[in-house]
Amino acid sequence: MDKAALCVGINQFASLPQSSWLQGCVNDAKDLAAVLADSYGFDASAITVLCDAQATKKAVMAELNKLVDAAVAGKATHLVFTFSSHGTQIPDTNGDEDDSLDEAFACHDINSSGDAWDPDTVISDDELSAVFARLPEGVLMDVVLDTCHSGTGLKSLDLLPGRRPRFLPAPTPEAAIANEDKELRSLRDLVKAAKLSTPVLMAACRSDQTAADALIEGRYNGAFTYNFLKTLRSDGGLGRAEILKLVSKGLKAGGFDQVAQLEAPKAARKAAWGK
């Protein structure tokens, strides 16, 4: 096994009202897994797909650590981690953030604790950084995030039918107001702890925007994931920077305000996705 992947998609949340559920995240995870198997040489047995109730924080973190363990043991040299769900924010507890907030990603079991989200039910960017820091030299890890990374984009919320933002504000109005004008974070912070092998990240939007969960051609997907996969299928040899341009062009043509993001070393920006 030289390739392994974890694809996560969460539409339904155990403790959230259905008005906060999404519709395209499970399709995102399954579609990404299919492309890895069909076009990128991933054995089906090396791709783990976690959807809805399967995707608790404990389960996602366990499978993500398994991926990295395989690389540490020399059994895998190309890893892929995709995550489609709500993004949110939680209070920073280690003092490394100027805005006193950590970006976080909602798991199926997301729940509140006081006026904030329970950290045992969301995955923080610090936790992802700690996992990425264990990557051995020479291992490629492609990360695809189709979530929002900040709530300020809700000010320009797209209210067209069939579209919904992939963002959860803080569980109480007071906390949401307190966090509204905080300084935003960059994707670079998600990989800041990596030393030997820097992950390559593609994300659905800037930190001040919302990622759309949308009905496209009669089927729900993340708007970013839909355009990302459409681009990969059209030409698997395109460099990541060129993919980014085409994805952003597709989003704009579809009437989406979000601008896809890429965080990668110079060589990885020029190389084809998966290289």
- Give, to the nearest 10 degrees, the angle between helix 25-39 and helix 223-234: 20
Positive or negative CA dihedral for 223, 91, 188, 237? negative
Q: How far apart are CA 13 and CA 10, in angstroms?
A: 7
Distances (CA, A) of 266 to 75, 141, 269: 26, 15, 5
Tokens 């989003």 correspond to what residue? 251
Q: 92 CB contacts (<8 Å, ≥6 apart)?
A: 99, 100, 101, 102
> Which of the residues are catalytic?
86, 148
Beta strands in the chain (DSSP E): 3-9, 47-51, 78-84, 87-91, 101-106, 112-113, 116-117, 122-124, 140-146, 163-165, 200-203, 212-216, 219-222, 261-263
Q: 127 CB contacts (<8 Å, ≥6 apart)?
A: 61
